[in-house]
Amino acid sequence: MDYQELCLLVCIQARAAGKFIANERAHFDLSKVESKGLHDLVSYVDKTSEQQLVEALQPLVPDAGFIVEEGTSTKRGEHFNWVIDPLDGTTNFISGIPLYAVSIGLLEDNELVLGVVYEIGHDECFYAWKGSKAYLNGKEVHVSGTDNITNALLATGFPYSNFDQLDNYIALMKWGMIEARGVRRLGSAATDLVYVACGRFDSFFEYDLKPWDVAAGAFIVKQAGGTVIDFSGGDQYLFSGEIVASNQALSAVMQEKVSAFMR
Protein backbone atom coordinates (compact mmCIF):
# COMPACT_ATOMS: atom_id res chain seq x y z
CA MET A 1 0.00 0.00 0.00
CA ASP A 2 1.20 3.51 -0.85
CA TYR A 3 0.52 5.20 2.48
CA GLN A 4 1.60 8.63 1.23
CA GLU A 5 -0.77 8.63 -1.72
CA LEU A 6 -3.58 7.33 0.47
CA CYS A 7 -2.94 9.97 3.13
CA LEU A 8 -3.09 12.81 0.62
CA LEU A 9 -6.39 11.48 -0.71
CA VAL A 10 -7.73 11.36 2.85
CA CYS A 11 -6.69 14.99 3.32
CA ILE A 12 -8.89 15.90 0.37
CA GLN A 13 -11.86 14.12 1.92
CA ALA A 14 -11.23 15.68 5.34
CA ARG A 15 -11.23 19.13 3.76
CA ALA A 16 -14.44 18.33 1.88
CA ALA A 17 -16.10 17.29 5.13
CA GLY A 18 -14.79 20.46 6.75
CA LYS A 19 -16.28 22.60 3.98
CA PHE A 20 -19.68 20.95 4.52
CA ILE A 21 -19.45 21.54 8.28
CA ALA A 22 -18.45 25.19 7.84
CA ASN A 23 -21.30 25.81 5.42
CA GLU A 24 -23.81 24.25 7.80
CA ARG A 25 -22.49 26.32 10.72
CA ALA A 26 -23.37 29.50 8.80
CA HIS A 27 -27.08 28.77 9.19
CA PHE A 28 -27.14 26.18 11.95
CA ASP A 29 -30.45 25.65 13.73
CA LEU A 30 -30.10 24.86 17.44
CA SER A 31 -33.41 23.01 17.36
CA LYS A 32 -31.63 20.24 15.42
CA VAL A 33 -29.40 19.35 18.38
CA GLU A 34 -29.95 15.95 19.98
CA SER A 35 -28.61 14.41 23.19
CA LYS A 36 -26.85 11.04 23.16
CA GLY A 37 -26.29 11.10 26.92
CA LEU A 38 -25.28 13.36 29.76
CA HIS A 39 -23.60 16.44 28.22
CA ASP A 40 -23.07 14.45 25.00
CA LEU A 41 -24.59 16.32 22.06
CA VAL A 42 -24.97 15.51 18.38
CA SER A 43 -26.64 17.02 15.33
CA TYR A 44 -27.46 16.14 11.75
CA VAL A 45 -24.13 17.78 10.82
CA ASP A 46 -22.12 15.12 12.69
CA LYS A 47 -24.17 12.31 11.17
CA THR A 48 -24.15 13.62 7.62
CA SER A 49 -20.44 14.41 7.72
CA GLU A 50 -19.70 10.90 8.94
CA GLN A 51 -21.84 9.31 6.24
CA GLN A 52 -20.10 11.37 3.58
CA LEU A 53 -16.70 10.29 4.90
CA VAL A 54 -17.66 6.63 5.06
CA GLU A 55 -18.86 6.76 1.45
CA ALA A 56 -15.76 8.64 0.27
CA LEU A 57 -13.21 6.48 2.11
CA GLN A 58 -14.73 3.09 1.29
CA PRO A 59 -13.38 2.96 -2.31
CA LEU A 60 -9.87 3.94 -1.18
CA VAL A 61 -9.44 0.70 0.80
CA PRO A 62 -12.33 -1.52 -0.28
CA ASP A 63 -11.73 -4.19 2.38
CA ALA A 64 -11.58 -1.68 5.24
CA GLY A 65 -14.16 -1.42 7.99
CA PHE A 66 -15.08 1.52 10.17
CA ILE A 67 -14.89 2.52 13.82
CA VAL A 68 -17.07 5.62 13.85
CA GLU A 69 -18.62 7.83 16.50
CA GLU A 70 -22.13 8.14 15.09
CA GLY A 71 -22.62 4.54 14.01
CA THR A 72 -23.29 5.21 10.33
CA SER A 73 -21.35 2.03 9.50
CA THR A 74 -20.97 -1.18 11.47
CA LYS A 75 -18.66 -2.87 8.98
CA ARG A 76 -15.41 -4.21 10.45
CA GLY A 77 -12.42 -5.07 8.32
CA GLU A 78 -10.16 -8.07 8.86
CA HIS A 79 -6.98 -6.04 8.41
CA PHE A 80 -7.95 -2.38 7.88
CA ASN A 81 -10.32 -0.12 9.80
CA TRP A 82 -10.90 3.60 9.50
CA VAL A 83 -11.32 5.40 12.84
CA ILE A 84 -13.40 8.52 12.28
CA ASP A 85 -14.66 11.44 14.30
CA PRO A 86 -16.62 13.50 11.76
CA LEU A 87 -16.82 16.53 14.05
CA ASP A 88 -14.55 16.56 17.09
CA GLY A 89 -15.68 19.47 19.23
CA THR A 90 -19.43 19.23 18.68
CA THR A 91 -20.23 21.40 21.69
CA ASN A 92 -17.95 24.12 20.32
CA PHE A 93 -19.66 23.81 16.92
CA ILE A 94 -23.15 24.02 18.39
CA SER A 95 -22.19 27.01 20.53
CA GLY A 96 -20.51 28.88 17.68
CA ILE A 97 -17.01 28.55 19.12
CA PRO A 98 -14.74 28.22 16.06
CA LEU A 99 -12.56 25.31 17.13
CA TYR A 100 -13.57 21.87 15.90
CA ALA A 101 -12.04 19.31 13.61
CA VAL A 102 -12.45 16.30 11.35
CA SER A 103 -10.33 13.37 12.55
CA ILE A 104 -9.50 10.32 10.43
CA GLY A 105 -7.10 7.52 11.35
CA LEU A 106 -6.41 4.17 9.70
CA LEU A 107 -5.64 0.98 11.57
CA GLU A 108 -3.82 -1.86 9.85
CA ASP A 109 -3.87 -5.01 11.98
CA ASN A 110 -4.26 -2.84 15.12
CA GLU A 111 -1.37 -0.53 14.15
CA LEU A 112 -2.10 3.08 13.26
CA VAL A 113 -0.59 3.80 9.85
CA LEU A 114 -2.19 7.10 8.87
CA GLY A 115 -3.68 10.15 10.53
CA VAL A 116 -5.39 13.29 9.28
CA VAL A 117 -6.85 16.06 11.44
CA TYR A 118 -8.44 19.02 9.69
CA GLU A 119 -9.06 21.94 12.06
CA ILE A 120 -11.77 23.78 10.19
CA GLY A 121 -11.76 27.26 11.69
CA HIS A 122 -8.12 27.95 10.87
CA ASP A 123 -8.00 25.85 7.68
CA GLU A 124 -5.19 23.73 9.10
CA CYS A 125 -4.73 20.19 7.86
CA PHE A 126 -2.33 18.07 9.93
CA TYR A 127 -1.32 14.70 8.53
CA ALA A 128 1.19 11.87 8.58
CA TRP A 129 1.54 8.35 7.26
CA LYS A 130 3.60 5.32 8.21
CA GLY A 131 7.28 6.12 7.75
CA SER A 132 6.74 9.87 7.27
CA LYS A 133 7.29 13.03 9.23
CA ALA A 134 4.27 15.06 10.37
CA TYR A 135 2.95 17.90 8.26
CA LEU A 136 0.72 20.96 8.51
CA ASN A 137 -0.56 22.28 5.19
CA GLY A 138 2.49 20.86 3.44
CA LYS A 139 5.13 22.02 5.92
CA GLU A 140 6.91 19.66 8.32
CA VAL A 141 6.11 20.11 12.00
CA HIS A 142 7.75 18.79 15.14
CA VAL A 143 6.98 18.64 18.84
CA SER A 144 8.46 21.36 21.04
CA GLY A 145 11.88 21.26 22.63
CA THR A 146 10.66 22.46 26.03
CA ASP A 147 12.57 20.49 28.66
CA ASN A 148 11.34 22.05 31.90
CA ILE A 149 7.81 21.74 33.25
CA THR A 150 8.00 25.35 34.46
CA ASN A 151 8.12 26.51 30.84
CA ALA A 152 5.55 24.00 29.57
CA LEU A 153 2.07 24.83 28.32
CA LEU A 154 -0.23 21.91 29.05
CA ALA A 155 -3.60 20.99 27.56
CA THR A 156 -6.39 18.84 28.89
CA GLY A 157 -10.08 18.08 28.51
CA PHE A 158 -12.91 17.55 30.95
CA PRO A 159 -14.96 14.35 31.22
CA TYR A 160 -18.56 14.53 30.01
CA SER A 161 -20.09 11.76 32.08
CA ASN A 162 -17.47 9.72 33.95
CA PHE A 163 -16.82 11.70 37.12
CA ASP A 164 -15.45 8.84 39.26
CA GLN A 165 -11.96 10.34 39.32
CA LEU A 166 -12.96 13.98 39.22
CA ASP A 167 -11.32 14.91 42.53
CA ASN A 168 -8.04 13.31 41.48
CA TYR A 169 -8.29 15.01 38.11
CA ILE A 170 -8.81 18.42 39.67
CA ALA A 171 -5.77 17.79 41.88
CA LEU A 172 -3.75 16.94 38.76
CA MET A 173 -4.86 20.13 37.05
CA LYS A 174 -4.00 22.10 40.19
CA TRP A 175 -0.46 20.68 39.99
CA GLY A 176 -0.30 21.78 36.35
CA MET A 177 -1.57 25.26 37.16
CA ILE A 178 1.06 25.72 39.85
CA GLU A 179 4.06 24.04 38.24
CA ALA A 180 3.59 24.68 34.51
CA ARG A 181 3.23 27.84 32.46
CA GLY A 182 -0.48 27.21 32.12
CA VAL A 183 -3.24 24.69 31.40
CA ARG A 184 -5.62 25.05 28.45
CA ARG A 185 -8.90 23.32 27.61
CA LEU A 186 -9.96 23.78 23.98
CA GLY A 187 -12.82 21.28 23.74
CA SER A 188 -11.40 19.14 20.92
CA ALA A 189 -9.00 16.33 21.76
CA ALA A 190 -8.00 15.90 18.12
CA THR A 191 -6.97 19.55 17.99
CA ASP A 192 -5.16 19.32 21.33
CA LEU A 193 -3.09 16.43 20.02
CA VAL A 194 -2.04 18.06 16.77
CA TYR A 195 -1.17 21.20 18.71
CA VAL A 196 1.27 19.01 20.67
CA ALA A 197 2.57 17.69 17.35
CA CYS A 198 3.39 21.17 16.07
CA GLY A 199 4.78 22.47 19.37
CA ARG A 200 1.98 24.82 20.41
CA PHE A 201 1.32 22.64 23.45
CA ASP A 202 4.07 20.72 25.23
CA SER A 203 1.80 17.99 26.61
CA PHE A 204 -1.84 16.90 26.59
CA PHE A 205 -3.62 14.55 28.98
CA GLU A 206 -7.22 13.42 29.32
CA TYR A 207 -9.37 10.47 30.32
CA ASP A 208 -12.77 9.10 29.29
CA LEU A 209 -11.94 9.40 25.59
CA LYS A 210 -12.94 7.19 22.67
CA PRO A 211 -10.73 5.79 19.87
CA TRP A 212 -12.09 8.24 17.30
CA ASP A 213 -11.12 11.16 19.56
CA VAL A 214 -7.43 10.28 19.58
CA ALA A 215 -6.47 7.88 16.78
CA ALA A 216 -5.40 10.36 14.11
CA GLY A 217 -3.95 12.95 16.49
CA ALA A 218 -1.95 10.43 18.51
CA PHE A 219 -0.39 9.03 15.35
CA ILE A 220 0.56 12.51 14.16
CA VAL A 221 2.18 13.29 17.52
CA LYS A 222 4.37 10.20 17.26
CA GLN A 223 5.38 10.99 13.69
CA ALA A 224 6.25 14.51 14.87
CA GLY A 225 8.76 13.07 17.35
CA GLY A 226 6.56 12.93 20.44
CA THR A 227 5.44 10.19 22.78
CA VAL A 228 1.94 8.88 23.40
CA ILE A 229 1.11 6.64 26.36
CA ASP A 230 -1.74 5.67 28.65
CA PHE A 231 -1.80 6.70 32.30
CA SER A 232 0.25 3.65 33.29
CA GLY A 233 2.96 4.43 30.77
CA GLY A 234 1.83 1.70 28.36
CA ASP A 235 0.64 1.82 24.78
CA GLN A 236 -3.07 1.15 25.32
CA TYR A 237 -4.14 4.76 24.81
CA LEU A 238 -6.37 4.03 21.81
CA PHE A 239 -8.96 1.90 23.62
CA SER A 240 -8.28 2.55 27.32
CA GLY A 241 -9.74 6.06 27.29
CA GLU A 242 -6.54 7.44 28.86
CA ILE A 243 -3.89 9.39 27.02
CA VAL A 244 -0.77 11.46 27.69
CA ALA A 245 0.93 12.98 24.66
CA SER A 246 4.17 14.91 25.16
CA ASN A 247 7.43 15.91 23.66
CA GLN A 248 10.31 13.58 24.44
CA ALA A 249 11.82 15.73 27.21
CA LEU A 250 8.63 16.01 29.27
CA SER A 251 7.23 12.51 28.74
CA ALA A 252 8.70 11.00 31.90
CA VAL A 253 7.59 13.74 34.28
CA MET A 254 4.11 13.88 32.76
CA GLN A 255 3.68 10.12 33.05
CA GLU A 256 4.93 10.20 36.63
CA LYS A 257 2.55 12.95 37.69
CA VAL A 258 -0.49 11.67 35.83
CA SER A 259 -0.09 8.14 37.17
CA ALA A 260 0.46 9.49 40.70
CA PHE A 261 -2.74 11.54 40.71
CA MET A 262 -4.92 9.22 38.60
CA ARG A 263 -4.13 6.00 40.46
Letter for the amino acid at 251? S
Report yes or no: 14 and 116 within 8 Å, Cβ to Cβ.
yes
- φ, ψ for residue 199, nearest 5 deg: 90, 5
Report yes or no: 222 and 215 within 8 Å, Cβ to Cβ.
no
| Residue 85 annotated as binding site | yes
| Residue 63 annotated as binding site | no
DSSP the chain: --HHHHHHHHHHHHHHHHHHHHHHHTT--GGG-EEEETTEEE-HHHHHHHHHHHHHHTTTSTT-EEEESS-S-----SSEEEEEEEEETHHHHHHT-S--EEEEEEEETTEEEEEEEEETTTTEEEEEETT--EEETTEEE-------GGGPEEEE---SS--TTHHHHHHHHHHHHHHSSEEE--S-HHHHHHHHHTTS-SEEEESS--HHHHHHHHHHHHHTT-EEE-TTSSS-HHHHS-EEEE-TTTHHHHHHHHHHH--
- φ, ψ for residue 100, nearest 5 deg: -160, 160
| Residue 57 annotated as binding site | no
Residues in the annotated binding site for Mg(2+): 69, 85, 87-88, 213
Residues in the annotated binding site: 69, 85, 87-88, 213
